[in-house]
Structure 1
């Protein structure tokens, strides 16, 4: 709190920060004094980085002390249980009699059963319990093996993709086609200058257009205003469209009538002329078929 400046007194956030740092330094000083057991603590520079490192070191040391205390407590409890078992003379006598009565094969089987129970961490030597424990461990091992295989496959794929991306990145970095032109700054400056010039011209043309529209609106007569209106222009466009459709229809009728050009104006005479032409058409078809059959016969 001694390093507070006058400006910090008017800033609540800075004051809180300075107060938190002071508390952290007090905790660090207490921890260092405890670790050095009355010896003088070496001098060091007091800054934020040093405070951060010492705070992390003290937290890691406290966690390690807690873990060591838990391990020591478990060891004391285990030793206490072993002492209680060893102090029971009946259990020791029973175990010695049982061991002496067993055959070598039985002793080997008993040792295997005990080792299996210890390895599987089962509370009893019941075969059904051991079988369930074995099945559970087998399933867990298989699942872990499958997960490990999947992870290894995924890792190989990611490694392959990483190599591919690195090669593509290297190619992009070394390929002259993707390199910036040497005169990129000059081109950028030229385009910026042209953009400013075009914007100036655009504003100038917009002003001229506004002036022309204002002049035209003042000089137009009521009739000319009606002609130049949007409704009049739309009506003219619709009439032009109808005229184009009528022209297309007339041209189609002229094509249909052109097929009958050269026929007599009288209906009966026209029918006779069409019949005569059909007879000629049949004669020409027969001649064509005869020539084709002659060519096929050769």
Structure 2
């Protein structure tokens, strides 16, 4: 909070951001002090990038510590279960097993060990040959399915890599080819046409008000028979002249509006407008390719 500026004091969002950064730095300092165990923490530059990296490092370290603690707990539980299993083993069963092993031939001992190893590897509930056969078939089926999925994923990855390379090539073409560069005068022309459109709209409203006033005056003049023929010819000529000027202005405004509408979707920034034009041209090329493909398909039929 010591690095707050006077401007930050009048900005609640900046003050809130500074408080959050101060809390993050306090957590990082506490974590570093714990990790160095009383040793001097090396000095480093305190900025946004360093804080972000240290936060990610602290999060990854905490996650690794949690995983290590879980692994140690699982190992302790497994050792405890093994010890309990050894305590509950029947001495008579061990005696029978040793007697069988002593009277088996070398081939029989090897077969017994192979059977036991297979049951353990397949995680089978018993050493029954039928059970082992079913477990082996299921394991083989799962392995084949995973191999097929892996091959499919590899093919999909290769396709994505090719598409990515193609898109990068097209992006480079759009960024470097002068044909996709918008004219430098687009923004100036758009601004000028917008200004002229506003000016002409103002003039149209002014002429419409004058025309309404003339029509109202003409209506009042025609109410009395004496004044009907006094200024009717002049008023009609003036009205026709104003109407012609108004029609010409309307046509000009409509033409300018159509010209401005062509650039309505483009951003104000020149580089962003160029990128938008390039993107639209790429979409146009894609639509043309699809059209040509559909046409070829129709011709092939």
Q: TM-score, normalised by structure 2?
A: 0.53
Identify which of 114, 130, 142 aligns with 1:112: 114
- Structure 1, 12-21 or 195-204: larger mean CA deviation: 12-21
Distance 1:171 1:17 in 2: 42
Q: Which has the larger radius of gyration?
A: 1
- Structure 1, 185-194 or 94-103: larger mean CA deviation: 185-194
Identify which of 212, 216, 219 aligns with 1:217: 219
Give the corresponding residue for 1:53: 53
Instruction: Indicate how the Cα distance of structure 1 residues 116 and 69 shifts in structure 2: closer, same or farther if over 3 A, else same.
Output: same
Distance 1:170 1:57 in 2: 35
Helix, strand or coil: the match of 1:181? coil
Q: TM-score, normalised by structure 1?
A: 0.54
Give the corresponding residue for 2:41: 41
Give the corresponding residue for 1:63: 63
Give the corresponding residue for 1:264: none
Distance 1:218 1:109 in 2: 123
Instruction: Indicate how the Cα distance of structure 1 residues 111 and 10 shifts in structure 2: closer, same or farther if over 3 A, else same.
Output: same
Distance 1:128 1:170 in 2: 63
Distance 1:79 1:182 in 2: 75
Distance 2:193 2:3 in 1: 55
Q: Deviations over 1:203-251 (max 9, x none)?
A: 3432342233223322345999xxxxxxxxxxxxxxxxxxxxxxxxxxx
C-alpha displacement of 1:194? 4.1
C-alpha displacement of 1:196? 4.6
Q: Deviations over 1:11-46 (max 9, x none)?
A: 887777666656555544443333223323334445
Instruction: Indicate how the Cα distance of structure 1 residues 77 and 94 shifts in structure 2: closer, same or farther if over 3 A, else same.
Output: farther
1:8–1:14 Cα contact (<8 Å) kept: yes
Say whether 1:121 aligns with 2:123.
yes
Distance 2:3 2:191 in 1: 52
Cα-Cα RMSD: 4.4
C-alpha displacement of 1:59? 3.2
Helix, strand or coil: the match of 1:117? helix
Give the corresponding residue for 1:133: 135
Distance 1:12 1:148 in 2: 53
Instruction: Indicate how the Cα distance of structure 1 residues 128 and 15 shifts in structure 2: closer, same or farther if over 3 A, else same.
Output: farther
Identify which of 151, 154, 157 aligns with 2:153: 151
In structure 1, list runs of 5 or more residues that go unmatched: 225-298
C-alpha displacement of 1:160? 4.3
1:113–1:125 Cα contact (<8 Å) kept: yes
C-alpha displacement of 1:90? 6.0
C-alpha displacement of 1:119? 1.8
Distance 1:149 1:222 in 2: 97
Distance 1:153 1:183 in 2: 47
1:86–1:92 Cα contact (<8 Å) kept: no
Distance 1:13 1:193 in 2: 37
Matched residue pairs, number? 224
Distance 2:49 2:175 in 1: 38
C-alpha displacement of 1:113? 1.8
1:28–1:55 Cα contact (<8 Å) kept: yes
